[in-house]
Amino acid sequence: MSPPPPDREAPLFFTTRWSLVLKAQDEASPDFDEAMGALCRGYWYPLYAFVRSQGHGPHDAQDLTQEFFARLLSKDWLKPASRDKGRFRAFLCVAMKHFLANEWDRQRALKRGGLHTHVPLDAVLAEQRFQHEPVDSMSPDRIYERRWALTLLEQAMARLRDDYTAQNKEREFDELKDCLTAGRGMIPYPDKAGALGVSEGAARVAVHRLRKRYREVFRATVADTVSAAQEVEEELRHVAAVLGEG
């Protein structure tokens, strides 16, 4: 599996739990605003990258992505989404394609900042991130899938950090996190032991536990995005395949 990305400089995108989608489908739900906000934040960058990869410049891509979410909020576009109709990420990508093809009048482009919601969609940060990524030769669909998969890695790392922080082990996490991507025989256990003030044997145990916990957290993160337990293995293989293309 591809390595986790470096520490994030901005809040993570939140991957989709179907319970969140169900809440966002019901405007009468007391959790509607929170759920819809999480969905918007969660897919802002993957969809922005998709629009940019279609050939739209930064300004148009910002406006298009904002308008897409504005319509998602106001036009019941989530109503057709259902667990038995496939992955939510695919549903959302298809909705964006229809929007770009049929529902955007370029002569009536929105003024910048025209999305009237309380969802903080950071267009400047999105473009900075897009510019710092390697030039992709993949299709827009594959770019969208890859950005989504990287989101899963980011969220898993965030959960893992929270896990260690809750146990007052944040220093241990920060010292050992690079071991998650180190190859066999490449981990400098004596250095890690010295940095943590423990024996080399204790450092080896700590790294083993970190790796094991990361696998558990990543699996749970992927499980949050599917509708049934039997889909987890298939989704893990899909994520690995998508990341392996990069």
DSSP string of 203-223, one letter each residue: HHHHHHHHHHHHHHHHHHHHH
- pLDDT-derived band at 105 (thresholds 50, 70, 90) equals low
Region 105-119: mean pLDDT is 47
Nearest to 148 by CA among 67, 242, 83, 61: 242
Q: How many Å apart are CA 219 and CA 233, to the nearest integer?
A: 9
Please answer whether residues 160 and 213 qualify as being in contact, where contact means their C-beta atoms are separated by less than 8 angstroms.
yes
Please answer whether residues 41 and 14 qualify as being in contact, where contact means their C-beta atoms are separated by less than 8 angstroms.
yes
pLDDT digits (tens, 9 = 90+) for 218-229: 998 888 777 677
Region 137-154: mean pLDDT is 83
The DSSP letter of residue 106 is G
pLDDT at 141: 87
* Highest averaged pLDDT of the listed ranges 70-79, 143-152, 223-232: 143-152
pLDDT digits (tens, 9 = 90+) for 160-194: 999 999 999 999 999 999 999 888 789 999 999 99
Please answer whether residues 179 and 187 qualify as being in contact, where contact means their C-beta atoms are separated by less than 8 angstroms.
yes
Phi then psi for 26, rounded to 5 degrees?
-115, 100
SS3 57: coil
Which residue stretches of the chain are H helix?
18-25, 32-53, 58-74, 88-102, 123-132, 140-166, 170-176, 189-196, 200-223, 232-244
Please answer whether residues 160 and 217 qualify as being in contact, where contact means their C-beta atoms are separated by less than 8 angstroms.
yes
Burial of 32 (0-12, 13-18, 19+ CB in 10 A): middle
Sequence-distant (6+) residues with CB within 8 A of 236 are: 219, 222
